[in-house]
Structure 1
Amino acid sequence: MPYEPPTHSVERSLRATTGARVVVGIDEVGRGAWAGPVTVCAAVTGLRRPPDGLTDSKLLTPKRRTELARELENWVTAHALGHASPQEIDELGMTAALRLAATRALEGLPVVPDAVILDGKHDYLGAPWRVRTVIKGDRSCVVVAAASVIAKVRRDAMMAELGDAHRDFCFADNAGYPSPVHRAALEELGPTPHHRLSWAYLDALPRWRHLKRVRFAPAVPAAEVGGQLGFDF
């Protein structure tokens, strides 16, 4: 289906209205998964012409998405990824976990952002960052689309690696998202250490629902909470 390619119009607007020179695009992947981290990519592209075919990662075939991610990692001016683990998602809730992962990504950049373009309508990042939210920014903004593709491909690769130790869950195919195979493995084997235990899917698993965690409000702001995923990404 034809689509309009993303542009630099929001970046140009931020430069004109705020004086921002370093504009970072942010997108996340893994928000709706049952297992695995939520992953955020922060990317800087400048105003150069992007690789052909750049768009929202969800509109690309897996093969093209992987090829494009490789191109983008060499094309972007800078990029960094941040993750929040399943345990952090359980402890903090998704909004705070997204903020934590995004902060880690932004702090991992070799440049200091003047402004951030965040995909969606909700600003889960907040101060001290200067944020512009853009609905469907992963389709309309070059810098967000680039972040979208890189985040998706990198998280899918991480989930495939986790799947080597949990083959019944087929993480390489479902990336931790709901699927019939994933549900069947949960019913038979119960959650792995990589599953989110505060999520509603456990309510439908009588053998395992006793494992469900009740989330309490964190005692400290999300940006101050540490935590690792257990291996180096």
Structure 2
Amino acid sequence: MNALARIAGVDEAGRGPLAGPVVVAAVILDPQRPIAGLNDSKKLSERRREDLSPLILRDALAWHIEFVGPDEIDQLNIFHATMAGMRRAVCALPIAATHALVDGNKIPPGLPCPAEALVKGDAREPAIMAASILAKVARDRYMLQLHSRFPGYGFDQHKGYPTPVHLAALQRLGPCAEHRRSFAPVRQASFPDLG
């Protein structure tokens, strides 16, 4: 790849939770402004992710964060909703990417540039690491806001993942507007007699 290539790293956060959006980020890093300390967001502490996020926003050539809400997830399913979010994130970059590196083993259809899927790319490719950090930080902040709107579920603790605390709250309170109705534990809490 030539020196003028603008490589977009693409990753998501939040495919597994029962509530909230899946958040996708696309990032084109500036080779002239490397960011020290990038890593897979899952291997970094929350504090470290919070420290790195503003550096990425400041020093990257381009970035975009895309939220795909529960309604779209329920309509398309989580895989297709994630693919749609990835395509929109790359298309919305303020500087066009010449190539995209996507974490995982699938390339979203309809990308505006050639792309490559990289399994465990968030541990191998700095642009994907940066995207994973932005997506995770944005999603965690969103889930904290949700906690203030729906305090009974513990979104500030588990961020919507199916922990015992979350599953117990679902049984006690039923789903809220931000739950993914197509996910089995939410469906069963909506219609307990069918569970």
TM-score (norm 2): 0.91
Q: Identify the residue that residue 186 of structure 1 maps to in structure 2.
A: 170
State which structure, 1 or 2, has the greater radius of gyration over its C-alpha atoms. 1
Alignment partner of 1:208 out of 188, 191, 194: 191
Task: Indicate how the Cα distance of structure 1 residues 211 and 71 shifts in structure 2: closer, same or farther if over 3 A, else same.
Answer: farther
Tell me the alpha carbon deviations over residues 12-52 of structure 1, each in whole angstroms, 9 at most, x when there is no partner: xxx24xx8722111000110010011110000003245332
Alignment partner of 1:31 out of 2, 11, 15: 15
Pairwise CA distance, 1:200 = 1.4
Write the letter of the residue equivalent to 1:185: A
Match of 1:51, SS state, is coil
Pairwise CA distance, 1:128 = 4.6
Partners of 1:185 and 1:163 in 2: CA distance? 13
Partners of 2:4 and 2:119 in 1: CA distance? 21
Confirm or deny that 1:145 pairs with 2:165.
no
Match of 1:164, SS state, is helix
Write the letter of the residue equivalent to 2:164: P
Write the letter of the residue equivalent to 1:119: D
Pairwise CA distance, 1:166 = 0.9
Contact 1:29 1:152 in 2 (8 A): yes
Structure 2 gaps of 5+ residues are none
Match of 1:172, SS state, is helix
Pairwise CA distance, 1:148 = 0.6
Write the letter of the residue equivalent to 1:24: A
Match of 2:168, SS state, is helix
Write the letter of the residue equivalent to 1:122: K
Identity of aligned residues (%): 35
Contact 1:86 1:196 in 2 (8 A): yes
Cα RMSD after superposing both structures: 2.1
Alignment partner of 2:35 out of 51, 67, 70: 51
Task: Indicate how the Cα distance of structure 1 residues 209 and 124 shifts in structure 2: closer, same or farther if over 3 A, else same.
Answer: farther
Q: Which moved more, 1:48-57 or 1:129-138?
A: 48-57
Confirm or deny that 1:111 pairs with 2:95.
yes
Say how many residue pairs are matched.
Answer: 195
Structure 1 gaps of 5+ residues are 1-14, 213-233
Partners of 1:32 and 1:61 in 2: CA distance? 19
Partners of 2:52 and 2:79 in 1: CA distance? 29
Partners of 1:110 and 1:174 in 2: CA distance? 33
Partners of 2:181 and 2:193 in 1: CA distance? 10
